[in-house]
Amino acid sequence: AQKVTQAQTEISVVEKEDVTLDCVYETRDTTYYLFWYKQPPSGELVFLIRRNSFDEQNEISGRYSWNFQKSTSSFNFTITASQVVDSAVYFCALSEAEGSQGNLIFGKGTKLSVKP
């Protein structure tokens, strides 16, 4: 069965610190997608990144970076020089390959608080 584990329930950092959010997944599929979504205090879900299982290259987008390692079934998310606006709940999610129903299996989320 598919499963996503975000072991960190809450993290609190001071502005400008770097922070890494962990995500470990389980799947028997050889082809799958991994996602990160952000949920700010306003409640909407904001898509951040999608990665397919054949692309293990790390990705950087501004202060955000993602480290995908199939060997450890992990897809970790790092925020460099955190800002107060990064305070949110972050969800990691997994779905089956393209062409399927695309159902997302979510982790329980990590609440990040960035203090000034």
Partner 1 sequence: NAGVTQTPKFQVLKTGQSMTLQCAQDMNHNSMYWYRQDPGMGLRLIYYSASEGTTDKGEVPNGYNVSRLNKREFSLRLESAAPSQTSVYFCASTRDGQPQHFGDGTRLSIL
Q: Which residues bind partner 1 (CB under 8 A)?
A: 9, 35, 37, 43-45, 47, 50, 91, 98-99, 101-104, 106-109
Instruction: Indicate the residue among 21 and 107 with the shorter CB distance to partner 1.
Output: 107
Cα–Cα distance list, 87 to 26, 103, 113 (Å): 27, 27, 5
Instruction: Indicate the residue among 93 and 114 with the shorter CB distance to partner 1.
Output: 93
> Least separation, in Å, of the C-beta of 49 and partner 1?
9
> Least separation, in Å, of the C-beta of 38 and partner 1?
11
> Least separation, in Å, of the C-beta of 100 and partner 1?
8
Q: Are 22 and 74 in contact (CB under 8 A)?
A: yes
- Cα atoms found within 13 Å of the Cα of residue 17, Cβ hemisphere only: 14
